[in-house]
Amino acid sequence: MKKTPPAKDISTYLRALPRDSRIVLQKLRETVRAAAPEAEEAISYRIPLIKFHGPLVFFAAFERHCSLFVASKQILRQFAPELEAFQVAGTTIRFTPEHPLPASLIRRIVKAKIAYNLERRSAKRKRSS
């Protein structure tokens, strides 16, 4: 992919992508937003971030694949059997436009990450009280 200035928002980020990556990441974005309607969008580390009481997921397109960054090994372990068809490293799931992540799996990952973020927030509040 060619070097472009950092995007100021997710729509701008997506418009700069090749068609196949743009389509799959737009569907991913819509799926995450449907699972987390109160979440906010941002650009962080030059890639899209969707956050709700902390980061839910980041996503990005690269030359040969796309990635969903869950930022929680615990969450990815929970879904390991369903992720066997994808390359998983650390807290990242790699997929291609030809073999995207199923929307139902994305929704369940996001719901689990919401619960994880809320639990962490609650625990943090208890510690500071």
Instruction: Check whether 112 has a pLDDT greater than 70.
Output: yes
Sorted by sequence, the CB contacts under 8 Å of residue 128 that are 6+ apart come out as: none
**Each residue's pLDDT tens digit, 16-59:** 999 999 999 999 999 999 999 999 999 999 999 999 999 999 99
Q: How far is it, in rounded angstroms, from Cα 113 to Cα 53?
A: 10
Question: Does 1 map to a domain?
Answer: no
| CATH number for the domain harbouring residue 114 | 3.90.1150.200
Total domains in the fold of the chain? 1
Average pLDDT over residues 109-124: 92
Q: Note the Cα 77 to chain centre separation in Å.
A: 16
Name the pTM for this structure: 0.90
Give the domain extent around 82.
10-128
Q: List, as one string, the DSSP characters of 75-103.
A: HHHHTGGGGTTSEEETTEEEEBTTBPPPH
In a domain, 4, yes or no: no
Q: Which residues share a beta bridge with 50?
A: 41, 57
**Within a domain: residue 5?**
no
Strand order in the sheet with 66-69: 40-44, 47-51, 55-61, 66-69, 92-95, 87-89
In a domain, 14, yes or no: yes
* Tokens standing for residue 96: 């291609």
